[in-house]
Amino acid sequence: MIKILNHNLSDIRFWIILFFAIRLIGITNPPLEVSHNWRQTTVTMVARNFLEIDNNILYPRVDFAGEKTGITGMEFPIFNYFIYLLSKVFGYAHWYGRLINLFFSSFGLWFFFKLIKKYFKPKIAFNATLILLFSIWFSFSRKIMPDTFSMSFIIASIYFGSNYLEKKGPLNQYFSIFLYVLLLTIGTLSKLPSAYILIVFVIFFIHKEIDFKRKIFFSLASIIALTPSVVWYFYWFPFLVNSYEFWHFSMGRSLSQGASEIIKYFPLALNRFYNNAIKYIGFIIFIIGLLYSIKNKEKVLISILGLGFFAYAIIILKAGYIFTNHNYYIIPFVPVMALVASYGLSQIKQKKIALALIILIGTEGVLNQQHDFIVHDKAMALTELENALDKISERKDLILINSDECPTPMYFSHHKGWVLGNEKITDKNQIQTLKEKGLKFIVILKRKFGTEITLDYPIAFNNDDFRIYQLN
């Protein structure tokens, strides 16, 4: 029995499955946790609109564009479309996106392990995967967001791409390159910055033992895989924004503007690495791994870190202040940090100390993210907004909500309209302008996402959490 237990504990699949099960706790929660509910509901509303309005994947639409269609440029909505397809079969539910992301992100961990194991000791691959599992990946892999979803596809694509270049792996070489193209296409379309990690293929291209013709064919395959993303983000994205006159998703700043913002908010930018990525203990081990890799002249590891950081620095500069303001922007770089941290652990010869450190990394990481499994009562009350509006309005009626720029309440209202702050809502000229565009109801949130204000309009609904005014 002890031998069986030890065998399972040393099998990374055991830990991936175990933490898959742990993250099923609260999987059916609506996207109302404190962290990034707004980002999740912009995904769910697009998926629901595919189901209820138009399932053309080329025309994603949001609900907070007022009288406009809501069609806009955004990340290619393949993640949203998976939610739509599941809803088409089983009927719509908030939480499908959580399950889809958790499923694919768990496979991403498995391919991360297989990829690292090809070039480093099995123990380094094992610990690197655990560190990645305990990192920011732990909570974001069950959020309705495409970040870990995208990185999982790209990690798997690198695995199959490296197999093709090195003529390794159990699959036919042409099937390996096919999977590389397919997975890379999905990954980069889902989240363009994730593609930065492709720079690691520079290591393969300078390797003299890899056939030149194979490198050329691989390059052509890469161009094929990346072309849809170039077309979407640099042609179709601006076309949708200009044609339907609604902008929401950012394509980043200029490098000079981004650099000035990063310098201005440098402590916040640094915080993304030592706090959000793999937490404090993990970051200390990462620094140890960095120092030892330089001391021991680990050329492959130094190349991965150096190339990866150089490429990701461009992403950071393009994001600018957004990088400092949103912790999930660090997600694409976390696999690299997990690998270096694992190498640092491997330099600790006392097995008990190394084991204690990996336990501490896991404990710190998980405990600092457990709040994402909880939805507070004040937020949960928002799930009743749709029912309240259904009693007094039709689904086509446009509404205004005092949630400032946060679209979360609009999603739960199951209506379309505008989100504004209290100051603008109390401006009668502003309201008159919106009435002329079709505004019928104003929702004032009292406890969550807004603060109570009193308006001089007939009250159609009122409770402890929100008041709904009707505009004749």
Residue 6's pLDDT is 55
Q: How many Cα neighbours within 13 Å face the side chain of 50? A: 26
H-assigned helices in 53-95: 78-90
Residue 134's pLDDT is 96
For residues 301 and 304, give the distance between their C-alpha atoms in angstroms, rounded to a whole number. Answer: 5
Whether the CB-CB separation of 72 and 244 falls below 8 Å is answered with: yes
Residue 35's pLDDT is 82
Task: Annotate 229-268 with three-state secondary structure.
Answer: HHHHHHHHHHHHHHHHCCCCCCCCCCHHHHHHHHHHCHHH
For residues 230 and 10, give the distance between their C-alpha atoms in angstroms, rounded to a whole number. Answer: 42
Whole-model pTM: value is 0.93
Whether the CB-CB separation of 246 and 70 falls below 8 Å is answered with: yes
Closest CA to 60 of 298, 260, 239: 239
Write the pLDDT tens digit of every residue in 316-354: 999 999 999 889 999 999 999 999 999 999 999 899 999
Q: Judging by DSSP bridges, how do beta strands 416-419 and 439-445 pair with one another?
A: unpaired
pLDDT (tens place) for every residue of the chain, 472 residues total: 455 545 578 899 999 999 999 999 999 999 999 888 999 999 999 999 999 999 999 999 999 999 999 999 999 999 999 999 999 999 999 999 999 999 999 999 999 999 999 999 999 999 999 999 999 999 999 999 999 999 999 999 999 999 999 988 777 888 999 999 999 999 999 999 999 999 999 999 998 888 899 999 999 999 999 999 999 999 999 999 999 999 988 888 889 999 999 999 999 999 999 899 999 999 999 999 999 999 999 999 999 999 999 999 999 999 999 999 889 999 999 999 999 999 999 999 899 999 999 999 999 999 999 888 888 888 999 999 999 999 999 999 999 999 999 999 999 999 999 999 999 999 999 999 999 999 999 999 999 899 999 999 999 999 999 999 999 7
State the sign of the Cα–Cα–Cα–Cα dihedral 73, 74, 79, 85.
negative
DSSP symbols for 378-411: HHHGGGGHHHHHHHHS-TT-EEEES-TT--HHHH
Residue 208's pLDDT is 81
For residues 280 and 371, give the distance between their C-alpha atoms in angstroms, rounded to a whole number. Answer: 18
The CA-to-CA distance between both ends of the chain, in Å, stands at 74
Whether the CB-CB separation of 354 and 288 falls below 8 Å is answered with: no
Q: Which two tokens stand for residue 435?
A: 């009435």
Closest CA to 309 of 317, 320, 298: 317
Whether the CB-CB separation of 410 and 398 falls below 8 Å is answered with: no
Write the pLDDT tens digit of every residue in 153-193: 999 999 999 999 998 877 788 899 999 999 999 999 999 99
Whether the CB-CB separation of 239 and 322 falls below 8 Å is answered with: no
For residues 225 and 204, give the distance between their C-alpha atoms in angstroms, rounded to a whole number. Answer: 18
Residue 249's pLDDT is 83
For residues 450 and 464, give the distance between their C-alpha atoms in angstroms, rounded to a whole number. Answer: 13
Over the Cα atoms of the chain, what is R_g? 24
For residues 194 and 153, give the distance between their C-alpha atoms in angstroms, rounded to a whole number. Answer: 10
Residue 439's pLDDT is 96
Residue with tokens 């980043």: 252
Please name the residues in contact with 139: beta carbons below 8 A apart, sequence gap of 6 or more. Answer: 35, 369, 372
For residues 192 and 230, give the distance between their C-alpha atoms in angstroms, rounded to a whole number. Answer: 9
Q: Give the three-class secondary structure for 445.
A: strand
Q: How many Cα neighbours within 13 Å face the side chain of 470? A: 12
For residues 104 and 244, give the distance between their C-alpha atoms in angstroms, rounded to a whole number. Answer: 33
